[in-house]
Amino acid sequence: MLELARIEDLPEAYRSALRQQNLVPLWPSLRAVLPPLKPAQRTQPVCWPYQSLRPLLLQAGELTPIEKAERRVLVMANPGHGLEKMQATSSIYLGMQLLLPGEWAPAHKHTPNAVRMIVEGHGAYTTVNGEKCSMSRGDLILTPTGQWHEHGHDGDQPVVWLDVLDLPLIYYMETSYVTEGKAQPVTGEGIERSYKRGGVVPAPVFARNENDYPMIHYPWADVRQALEELVASQPEIEAVQMAYVNPETGLDCQKVLGFSALMLRPGERLELPARSTAMVFHQIEGRADVSIEGQQFSLADADTCCIPGYVPVTLTNHSSSQPAFIFIADDAPLQKKLGVYEVRN
């Protein structure tokens, strides 16, 4: 490979003249931004065990009232990016959020897209543009860009959910901001039931629904049933996986990040090829091992880990009798739009 000149090879007077005009020579740093064959990566494999995180989250509830926090969240930061950056991968923000009985997290809207994967508890809800979505373990709730949303809790036990946002990208583009609002009147509930049958959607006689996000609540009971029916009807299928999509278009449910639920059959070992996307794995039910290049994380209920891109991943369910269910997030939708998505076999 061609050996490029170093910045030190240039005379100091020349370098000074460049600096005075805010100019930088490319060639000394060319391989830093265009490395050969594989990108430079800061994302490190990291695991956040829920049983270690949970006591700290509950303690946050004792230390900081919701009125002083607005959103009581412990951010799951990747040390490869620097903890102060508050990002799990180059494109994904993760946070565990706590809402205590009787609390209300006030309405706001923001430019980053968000989803909520419910981890534990009952009695809480998220209202998105007037649609009230009850929270149960394993449910996925969307709060897309620019949508008013708030969280409330009518139950008697703590409720915790995993926030997944494209915040690092929106912040990098200098387009990240929030707008505060007032409590929303509830105008609908259970709208997701209109889309429970695959292949059919509501079809108004006079006008189509122009909403980019017609379905924002994906109950885990329905997703789990769909996974079980998939493997029952296609027992030889290579991977038992369901994507969260827009039921009107069949496209990814959001435009930047993609989400899916994966079922590992009892005793199954699944080898995923190296892809250009970093991935987040969150254990909904059961236990599973996530292995890459000699490193392994053993995930129990509600554990979360992230894996960098361009490495093959092996998922293993060691139980001989029980399936394991994993929620997966990545930025494949954006990468495909940009034309940089790769699968390397």
What pLDDT sits at residue 1?
A: 63
299-327 mean pLDDT: 97
pLDDT over 70 at 319, yes or no:
yes
Give 208's pLDDT tier (boundaries 50, 70, 90). low
pLDDT tens track for 2-12: 777 888 999 99
pTM of the entire predicted model: 0.94
pLDDT tens track for 227-249: 999 999 999 999 999 999 999 99
pLDDT over 80 at 210, yes or no:
no
The edge-to-edge listing of strands for the beta sheet with 269-272 is: 269-272, 313-316, 288-292, 295-299
Which of the two residues, 95 and 193, has the higher pLDDT score?
Answer: 95
pLDDT over 80 at 209, yes or no:
no
What pLDDT sits at residue 142?
A: 98
Residue from 153, 157, 151, 160 nearest 54 by CA? 160
CB 71 within 8 A of CB 100: no
- Distance, CA of 146 to CA of 160 (rounded, Å): 23
Average pLDDT, rounded, for the chain: 94
Give the length of the chain: 345
Residue 249: both structure tokens together:
């278009």
Encode burial over 214-227: b for 16+ CB neighbours within 10 A, e otherwise. bbbbbbbebbbeeb
Instruction: Give how far Cα 344 sits from Cα of 34, 165, 248, 257, 311, Å.
Output: 19, 26, 32, 20, 9
Task: Classify 30 as helix, strand or coil.
Answer: helix
Give 204's pLDDT tier (boundaries 50, 70, 90). confident
Third-level CATH fold of 46-198+213-344: Jelly Rolls (2.60.120)
Query: What residue segments make up the domains of the chain, in order of their start?
Result: 46-198+213-344
Q: In this predicted structure, which of 92-106, 135-149, 182-196 has the lowest mean pLDDT? A: 182-196
Strand partners, 291: 296, 314
What pLDDT sits at residue 207?
A: 59
Residue from 326, 174, 194 nearest 264 by CA? 326
What pLDDT sits at residue 176?
A: 97
Per-residue DSSP letter, 35: -
Residues 6+ apart with CB under 8 A from 20: none
Strand partners, 162: 96, 117
Dmax over CA atoms of the chain, in Å, equals: 74
What pLDDT sits at residue 3?
A: 77
53-59: list long-range contacts, CB under 8 Å, 24+ apart: 53/96, 54/160, 54/302, 57/96, 57/98, 57/160, 58/98, 58/158
261-266 mean pLDDT: 98
Which of the two residues, 92 and 187, has the higher pLDDT score?
Answer: 92
pLDDT over 90 at 181, yes or no:
yes
- Work out whether strand 140-143 and strand 114-120 pair parallel, antiparallel, or are unpaired: antiparallel
Sign of CA pseudo-dihedral 58, 59, 65, 71 = negative
CB 110 within 8 A of CB 221: no
pLDDT over 90 at 206, yes or no:
no
pLDDT tens track for 40-94: 999 999 999 999 999 999 999 999 999 999 999 999 999 999 999 999 999 999 9
What number of other Cβ atoms are within 10 A of residue 88's Cβ?
A: 29
pLDDT over 90 at 191, yes or no:
no
pLDDT over 70 at 27, yes or no:
yes
